[in-house]
Amino acid sequence: MITSNQVNKVYRTKTIETTALHSVNLEIPEGEFLSIMGPSGRGKSTLLNIIGLLDAPTSGQVQINESNPPKYNTKSMVKFRNKKLGFIFQGFHLIPDLSVSDNIELPLFYRKTSSKERRKLAEEALESVGLKNRMSHFPSQLSDGQKHRVTITRAIVGKPQKILTDQPTGNLDSVMGNEVMDILMHLNSENNITIVMVTHDENMAKKTHKLMRLYDGQQVA
Amino acid sequence: MISNYIKLVIRALGQNKFFTSISLFGISFTLAILMLIISMLETEVDTNPALSERDKMVLVPNLQLKKIFYDTIYSYDSTMYNGEIVIDFRYKLYEQGSSNSNNELAHWFLEEHLDDIPNAVNQTFFNRNQVNNSKVELKAVYADHRFGEVFDFKFIDGFGFNETAVKNEELVAVITDDLADKYFGRRDKVLGKNIEKNGRNYSVIGVIKPAGIMLLSLDIVVPYTHDYIDSQIRDENSFGSYMAMYIGDESSDVELIKEDIKFINSNTEVPAPAREYFDITEFKPYGFHEACAGQILDMNNAEQSLNIMTWVMYALIGFLILLPTLNLINLNVGRFMERNSEIGVRKAFGVDRTTILVQFILENIVQTFLGGLIGLGLAILGIDLINDTNLIGDIVLKVNYRFFGYSLIICLLFGLLLGILHAYRMSKMHIVSALKQNKL
Ligand SMILES: Nc1ncnc2c1ncn2[C@@H]1O[C@H](COP(=O)(O)OP(=O)(O)OP(=O)(O)O)[C@@H](O)[C@H]1O
Ligand SMILES: [Mg+2]
């Protein structure tokens, strides 16, 4: 369960103050697939980052699994993120210096999983997205569709409870987009993983359990 | 765990081949060049023919007479000019202070007080002065016959003068091949030719290679017995133009010789005629390196001069290492910028600040270390090549491993500092902004 209580996010620069989120209240039960929609620049990524504990709200609270509100930038927060959350970013953010399997093993690496175990889990995860034969390639040697699948694999390899994803089908054609969507839906239904997905695609959003719209940092539906 | 890091680091370095090779090239090339320079410097001093015994040498370069006054000071000085001593009695009046006169020593003074040093196996008294000859300007040395024993000049032709020649005031001279070239227009077959100095004709009996250091910078050496003014007339003046160089059996004798001289000094009174003006006599012994440093900076403070020179040397080498290091820092900064996204991702997936710190620092260290090893390889290859091809004559260069060690440590320290600096900045960076900065 993820809850947010009166979450505000204000970005201040020297000249301008942007209210990216305004009093957002959310309740995402275990196993739910929520999609967030809204025009560009209206705070979707900001909200996702705050739910994912990557960023602190200016005011208000985020709670995950009914634990106390987390302290940012602490070791326990880092550990929590590593174990319970998986991220698929807007853009791939693969590490160019590492091979596909090393990229995927990243969350396991910081969990101090043995290298044998890491390799096995990465192999399994890659197999499930049909990329087992690309394990020792480097990101620059992959197509964009393949990169997408690698980023999804990286998010799921550690078997997180919740996956947060920012426009996972953003720059894919409809076939590829559907493929990615199928993977996510499968993870959600089979493994009961909670998924929060930001998207611009109504068709994708329709496939999820619940849709939330953000307009100028405010929930409108 | 540490092996995991190392693997990660090697993989990262291996992947970014372009950057890694530039950076390795920078470190290794600089180290190699530095090692070559050091090797040449060392060889230069090492095989310098006049000074192969320099580690056993002790120099007494000057004499100081002192008096503490309360209201008046007498100053008393002498200088050597054109082979003549010019004595300068000037009477100065100060409110109060100390009087201090400082110059090289008279030959008679050396003979009387400093001729018998128990721990020295050999010694020579010599002076250096400028002579304006009709044909060329000469740097002349008046010396005893042991000058050529203490300083093993490399003779191209002929010999030095012996004790008899000195005693009999023979008109003989040893000259450098450079002077031979200037004076006679040739470097060989000049033995027996005459060279004019202070209106007398000296016959050339030996030709030497210049020693190439300031202390022994000279064109011509003649018996000191020709130096009537300074060496033979025992006037009341204990100042002159001479200095004394002693040599021990081995380098550990240097300290003993110094002790001998200090002991003699403590028992030497101010010569009678000067007692009116001074009450302290001081002649200090210096090791060879101290003397060299003192020649360049300040003879009265030779020990301090050596310290200063040593630090200047370190600073220079440090500077040489610093330049390419700055370049590396520059490259590194660029590279770290590119890696913002990596930091963001790693942080999102559960890396804590310490781990990031360790990773980036290790990357830097491994890189510097590899660079150092390659540099050593290059230097050894270069030195072998120079030795094999006789590129700089028949000098044989050696690899200075100790210097290599020091440089590597400096490089590692720089690498570490650099790593810590950047890693710290990286680890502090906010995840979301790190992720925003670039995307692959
Ligand atoms: N670090 C920041 N400093 C200042 N303003 C920011 C910062 N990050 C985001 N903003 C502003 O906050 C608002 C919301 O940004 P956000 O990235 O959440 O939009 P978004 O809904 O994800 O847009 P898109 O659909 O284009 O990805 C924007 O107006 C943006 O300019
Ligand atoms: Mg966005």
Per-residue model confidence as pLDDT tens digits over A178-191: 888 998 999 999 99
Total residues belonging to chain A: 221
Q: How far apart are CA B125 and CA B120, in angstroms?
A: 13
Any atom of ligand 1 within 6 Å of the Cβ of A40: yes
The burial class, CB within 10 Å (0-12 / 13-18 / 19+), for B16 is middle
Residues A107, B350: C-beta atoms closer than 8 Å: yes
Pairing of strands A210-215, A194-198: unpaired
Phi, psi of A192 (to 5 degrees): 55, 40
Looking at the structure, do residues B225 and B349 belong to the same domain, yes or no?
no
Q: How far apart are CA A175 and CA A199, in angstroms?
A: 16
Domain count, chain B: 2
More confident residue, A122 or B426: A122
Q: Which domain holds residue B130?
A: 107-282
For A75, the closest of B352, B431, B432 (CB atoms) is B352
Whether the CA torsion B180, B182, B188, B189 is positive or negative: it is: negative
Looking at the structure, do residues B166 and B232 belong to the same domain, yes or no?
yes
Instruction: Read off the amino acid at residue A57.
Output: P
Looking at the structure, do residues B125 and B258 belong to the same domain, yes or no?
yes
For A107, the closest of B11, B344, B349 (CB atoms) is B349
HSE on the CB side for A82, CA within 13 Å?
21
- Rounded to an integer, the average pLDDT of A114-128 is 91
pLDDT value at residue B21: 73
Looking at the structure, do residues B247 and B354 belong to the same domain, yes or no?
no
Instruction: Read off the amino acid at residue B204.
Output: V
Domain count, chain A: 1
User: What spacing in Å lies between the alpha carbon of B424 and ligand 2's midpoint?
Assistant: 28
Q: How far apart are CA B254 and CA B157, in angstroms?
A: 32
Q: Which domain holds residue A167?
A: 2-219
Any atom of ligand 1 within 6 Å of the Cβ of A39: no
Instruction: Read off the amino acid at residue A52.
Output: G
- The CATH number of residue A121's host domain is 3.40.50.300
Looking at the structure, do residues B252 and B191 belong to the same domain, yes or no?
yes
Q: Cβ contacts of residue B52 below 8 Å, gap of 6+? A: B152
Q: Is residue B400 part of a domain?
A: yes
Instruction: Read off the amino acid at residue B150.
Output: V
Residue B347, phi-psi category: left (phi > 0), alpha (psi -120 to 50), beta (remainder): alpha
pLDDT value at residue B167: 92
Ligand 1 nearest-atom number relative to CA B433? 1
Q: Is residue B295 part of a domain?
A: no
Distance from CA of A91 to the nearest CA of B (A): 6
Whether the CA torsion B160, B161, B162, B166 is positive or negative: it is: negative
Low-confidence ranges of chain B (pLDDT < 70): 1-17, 19-20, 40-49, 69-98, 133-134, 212-214, 228-236, 295-303, 321, 323-338, 390-398, 437-440
Looking at the structure, do residues B124 and B253 belong to the same domain, yes or no?
yes
Q: Is residue B63 part of a domain?
A: no
Any atom of ligand 1 within 6 Å of the Cβ of A11: yes
- What the block records as the tokens of B163 is 């004790």
Residues A87, B349: C-beta atoms closer than 8 Å: yes
pLDDT value at residue B180: 92
Q: B103, B75 in Cβ contact below 8 A?
A: no
Total residues belonging to chain B: 440
- What the block records as the tokens of B140 is 């002349």
Tell me which DSSP letter residue B105 carries: B
Looking at the structure, do residues B353 and B276 belong to the same domain, yes or no?
no
Q: Is residue B220 part of a domain?
A: yes
Looking at the structure, do residues B224 and B131 belong to the same domain, yes or no?
yes
Q: A9, A58 in Cβ contact below 8 A?
A: yes
Mutate to test the pocket of ligand 1, among A17, A22, A46, A198 (most ligand atoms within 8 A of CB): A46
> Which ligand lies nearest the alpha carbon of A39?
1
Q: Atom 22 (ligand 1): residue with closest C-alpha?
A: A45
User: What spacing in Å lies between the alpha carbon of A45 and ligand 1's midpoint?
Assistant: 7
Any atom of ligand 1 within 6 Å of the Cβ of A51: no
3-state secondary structure (DSSP) of residue B184: helix
Any atom of ligand 1 within 6 Å of the Cβ of A15: no
Distance from CA of A107 to the nearest CA of B (A): 5
Any atom of ligand 1 within 6 Å of the Cβ of A45: yes
User: What spacing in Å lies between the alpha carbon of A41 and ligand 1's midpoint?
Assistant: 5
Q: Is residue B13 part of a domain?
A: yes
Q: Is residue B293 part of a domain?
A: no
Identify residues of A whose CB sits under 8 angstroms from chain B CBs: 49, 52, 54-55, 75, 78-79, 81-83, 87, 89, 91-99, 102, 106-107, 109-112, 115, 138-140, 154, 158
Chain A residues with CB under 8 Å of B340 CB are: none
Last residue of some domain: B248, B266, B282? Answer: B282
pLDDT value at residue B172: 95
Instruction: Read off the amino acid at residue B179.
Output: L
Ligand 1 nearest-atom number relative to CA A39? 25
> Which ligand lies nearest the alpha carbon of A37?
1
Mutate to test the pocket of ligand 1, among A42, A55, A169 (most ligand atoms within 8 A of CB): A42
For A97, the closest of B15, B348, B432 (CB atoms) is B15
Return the beta strands (E) in chain A as ranges. 2-12, 17-28, 33-37, 59-64, 85-88, 162-166, 194-198, 210-215, 218-219
pLDDT tops 90 at residue A218: no
Q: A37, A200 in Cβ contact below 8 A?
A: yes
CB-based neighbours (< 5 A) of ligand 2, an ion: A 45
Any atom of ligand 1 within 6 Å of the Cβ of A199: no
Percent residues over pLDDT 70 in chain A:
96
Looking at the structure, do residues B416 and B371 belong to the same domain, yes or no?
yes
Looking at the structure, do residues B112 and B162 belong to the same domain, yes or no?
yes
Residues B435, A93: C-beta atoms closer than 8 Å: yes
Any atom of ligand 1 within 6 Å of the Cβ of A191: no
Looking at the structure, do residues B122 and B166 belong to the same domain, yes or no?
yes
Looking at the structure, do residues B324 and B273 belong to the same domain, yes or no?
no
- Which alpha helices (H) appear in A52-173, and where do they start and end? 75-84, 100-109, 115-128, 144-156
Mutate to test the pocket of ligand 1, among A12, A13, A17, A44 (most ligand atoms within 8 A of CB): A44
Q: What is the ipTM of this complex?
A: 0.88
Q: Is residue B100 part of a domain?
A: no
